[in-house]
């Protein structure tokens, strides 16, 4: 075969609870890529971290604020 192919798959949401349903994309993508490689395909895997969106932005902001607080700076973490 030696046909080059790309399999793209995504991670579970890093800000939510990890469940079997949320983890299936990674499992299915990796399984498909392994099966294709075993069949003779030249497989390239593209694994996307599901790290975009407001939740991740808020996580990053809260980490920066807490870090500044540890350094003794005045930084306020809002509830939102």
Is there a single domain that holds both residue 8 and residue 39? Answer: yes
Q: Rounded to 5 degrees, what angle do the CA atoms 12, 17, 30 make?
A: 25
What residues contact 9, with CB distance under 8 A and at least 6 apart?
25, 26, 28, 29, 30, 32, 45, 46, 47, 48
Q: Residue 76: give the domain boundaries.
A: 53-80
64: left (phi > 0), else alpha (psi -120 to 50), else beta?
A: alpha
Is there a single domain that holds both residue 58 and residue 44? Answer: no
Is there a single domain that holds both residue 40 and residue 12? Answer: yes
Count of structural domains, the chain: 2
Is there a single domain that holds both residue 36 and residue 9? Answer: yes
Is there a single domain that holds both residue 32 and residue 59? Answer: no
Distance CA 32, CA 39 (A): 11
**What pTM was estimated for this model as a whole?**
0.56
Is there a single domain that holds both residue 62 and residue 37? Answer: no
pLDDT tens digits for range 5-57: 999 887 777 667 778 877 788 888 899 999 999 999 999 998 777 666 777 78
Is there a single domain that holds both residue 42 and residue 9? Answer: yes
């Amino acid at each position: 075969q030696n046909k080059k192919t790309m399999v793209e798959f995504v991670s579970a949401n890093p800000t939510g609870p990890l469940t079997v349903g949320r983890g299936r994309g990674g499992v299915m993508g990796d399984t498909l890529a392994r099966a294709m490689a075993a069949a003779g395909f030249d497989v390239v895997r593209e694994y996307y971290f599901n790290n975009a969106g407001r939740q991740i932005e808020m996580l990053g902001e809260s980490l920066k604020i807490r870090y500044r607080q540890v350094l003794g700076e005045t930084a306020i973490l809002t509830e939102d």
